[in-house]
Amino acid sequence: MSYNRKSKILELIQENEVETQQQLVELLSNAGYKATQATISRDIRDMKLIKTNKGMGKSCYALPPKNDNRLSDRFVKILRETIKDVRSAENLIVVQTLNGCANAAAEAMDSATSDEIVGTIAGDNTILIIVDTKEHVPDIVKKIKEIIS
């Protein structure tokens, strides 16, 4: 449940200008997730969300800037606990996750984006990774499998 809620939080802060924890509680409630302000506070801390200045006295929750290509321990844990299978075809990699966990796992992968990864698309339980060339796919698949094993 925690990963589903955190995945939804990521989605909500990317789609909305979320200024307060109470606003996030309400958005989650509207999306069918029950959570208290204390739970949201812990999630924000665990996810290392930051407040960014949007001008005119507004500050909103956002993901921290990407500093390097290493995965944090938190993202490694998300990947290990949510990924079920990794397969590839040509320059595409398909990652199967537990239901509701694809967004969180995709964010973990995006945080350590390599130059070979053009982008990721996440559904409910599937992530599509688009790689620049099919020659780079085996190395990326190997890295993912090393992380989750």
Closest CA to 131 of 84, 78, 94: 94
Closest CA to 10 of 92, 68, 86, 78: 78
Q: How far is it between the farthest Cα atoms of the chain?
A: 48
pTM for the full predicted model: 0.55
- Which residues on neighbouring strands pair with residue 95, listed in sequence order? 86, 127
pLDDT tens digits for range 72-121:
677 788 888 899 999 999 999 999 999 998 988 888 777 766 778 888 99
Q: What average pLDDT does this structure show over 25-41? A: 92
In the chain, what are the domains? 2-62 (1.10.10.10), 73-148 (3.30.1360.40)
Other Cβ atoms closer than 10 A to 63: 16
149: tokens are 């094993």
Measure the CA–CA gap between 49 and 35, rounded to whole angstroms.
17
Write the CB contacts of 88 (distance below 8 Å, at least 6 apart in sequence). 94, 137, 138, 141
Residue 57, pLDDT score:
78
Residue 68 has pLDDT above 50, yes or no: no
pLDDT tens digits for range 6-30:
888 988 998 899 999 999 999 999 9
Measure the CA–CA gap between 107 and 148, rounded to whole angstroms.
15
